Amino acid sequence: MTERENFFLVYNHQKPAWMPNFYDAYAPMGASVLNNQGDYMRGGKDMFGAKWICTEDTGWQAIPDPYYHVLEDITEWKKYIEFPDLDAMDWEGAAQRDLARIDRNEKVVACFGMEGNFNRLQSLMGTCEALIAMLEEPEAVYEFFEAHTKFKMKTIEKIAYYYKPDIYVNGDDVCSGDGLFFSKAMYDDLIKPFEMMLGKTAVNCGLILEHHVCGKAEAIIPDIVETGATIWQTGQIMNDLNGIEARYGDRLLIHGGWDSTGPHNFEGASEEMVRAATRKVVDDYGKNGHFALFPIVMGDPANPEIARRRSWVCDECRKYSEALYR
C-alpha cells in the first residue's frame, strides 16, 4: 500500500494500515511563480514589496521584518499596493518545474496557497499596526481584504488548472496559543466572509480544502468546516482535539497532534525522546484510526540532526501505529 492510498483510507473514514504523517504522505509545494515570502529559506522582498526574514533566530521559518513597513495607513492601501498580473506569469513552466520530481501515485499532492488576509496585512503593516487598523478602520481593511481575496481566488484557479493538486491548503494564522488575536465578532466581520469565498473557489475547482491555522483555534472550528474545509492543519495540542474529533470527525480530518514546545523539539533531543513524543500522539489521538500526524520538526535543513529527527518521527509513527491498527 502506498502512502497516498493509506492517507485516503483515513480521509474517507476507512481503517488505515498506519497513521499518515505529513512528511511521508504529502508532496507539499507552493507555486514557484508566486513570490509570496521572498526567496525560499533566504527571505527578502516578496511580490508586494514586503520584506521577510528567514534565519536561525526565526527557526528557519520566514517571518515579516517587523521594522519594514510597506503600508502605514490602511486607508491609503490603493496608493501603495499593486496586485501582480497573474496572466502574465509562466504558470505552465512553473508547474513543470515544481512537479518534476513528484510521484502522484505515491504521494498526496498538496499545494499551499499564499498568505491569508490577516497574515498579509501583518506583512505589509506590522502586527500591532494591522490589529489597530482592523479596530479603527474596518471599512478600509474590509476593502483591502476583498481585493486580496479576489486576487487569491484567481491564484487558486490557476493552481487547479496547471498543478492539479489533490489538496489546496488555505491558511491564515489568526490564533495565538490562547485563542484568536482579536474578537470573534471581528473574525466574523473581517475574516470569515473571505474564507468562505476562498473555500468555495477551491471546492468548485475540484480540490480538497485543507485549512491551516496554528494555535488555539477551537472557537473557529465550526467556521472552518463551513468554508468547505475537510482537513484542519496543524491541530495543536492546546485544543481539545479529541472533543473536536468527536463533534466534527465525520466532516473534518484533524492533521496535527504534535507537541511543538516539548524538549523533543530542541537541539540535543535524544532519539528516544523524539520517538516517545511520536508514540504519545498515536496513543492520545489515533486509536480510532481517524487522525493524521503533522509533526513540527523545525530547524536548518542543512543540519543533519533535523533530518535524523524527522526520520525518527516517521519511522516510529509508521511502526507504532501499524502495530496498533493490525
Grid coordinates in use for 188? 466574523
Answer yes or no: are the C-beta atoms of 98 and 31 closer than 8 Å. Answer: yes
Does pTM surpass 0.85? yes
Contacts of 155 (CB under 8 A, 6+ apart): 31, 34, 86, 113, 114
Quick one: which of 82, 94, 110, 203 has its CA closest to 153?
A: 203
The model's pLDDT over 181-216, given as tens digits with 9 standing for 90+, comes to: 999 999 999 999 999 999 999 999 999 999 999 999
> What whole-number distance in Å separates Cα of residue 191 and Cα of residue 236?
21
268: left (phi over 0), alpha (psi -120 to 50) or beta: left
pLDDT higher than 90, residue 298: no
> What whole-number distance in Å separates Cα of residue 226 and Cα of residue 220?
10
Q: Which domains does the chain have, with CATH numbers?
A: 3-325 (3.20.20.210)
> What whole-number distance in Å separates Cα of residue 321 and Cα of residue 326?
8
Answer yes or no: are the C-beta atoms of 229 and 192 closer than 8 Å. Answer: no
> What whole-number distance in Å separates Cα of residue 36 and Cα of residue 114?
6
Length of the chain: 326
pLDDT higher than 90, residue 253: yes
The model's pLDDT over 29-85, given as tens digits with 9 standing for 90+, comes to: 999 999 999 998 889 999 999 999 999 889 888 999 999 999 999 999 999 999 999
Answer yes or no: are the C-beta atoms of 317 and 278 closer than 8 Å. Answer: yes
| C-alpha triplet 137, 143, 149: angle, nearest 5° | 130
297: left (phi over 0), alpha (psi -120 to 50) or beta: beta
Q: If pLDDT is split at 50, 70 and 90, which confidence band does 321 have?
A: very high
CB neighbours (10 Å) of residue 46? 23
DSSP-assigned letters across all residues of 106-169: TSEEEEE----HHHHHHHHH-HHHHHHHHHH-HHHHHHHHHHHHHHHHHHHHHHHHHT--SEEE
Partners of 295 in the beta sheet? Answer: none
- List the 63-64 sheet strands across, edge first: 43-45, 51-53, 63-64
At position 232, the amino acid (one-letter code) is: W
Residue carrying C-alpha cell 489538496: 167
Q: CA neighbours within 13 Å on the CB side: how many for 273?
A: 13
Partners of 32 in the beta sheet? Answer: none
Q: What pLDDT score does 299 carry?
A: 82
Average pLDDT, the chain: 97
Residue carrying C-alpha cell 516578496: 46
Q: What pLDDT score does 19 carry?
A: 99
Mean pLDDT, residues 238-251: 98
Mean pLDDT, residues 13-28: 98
Grid coordinates in use for 107? 504521494
Q: Widest CA span of the chain, in angstroms?
A: 61
pLDDT higher than 90, residue 227: yes
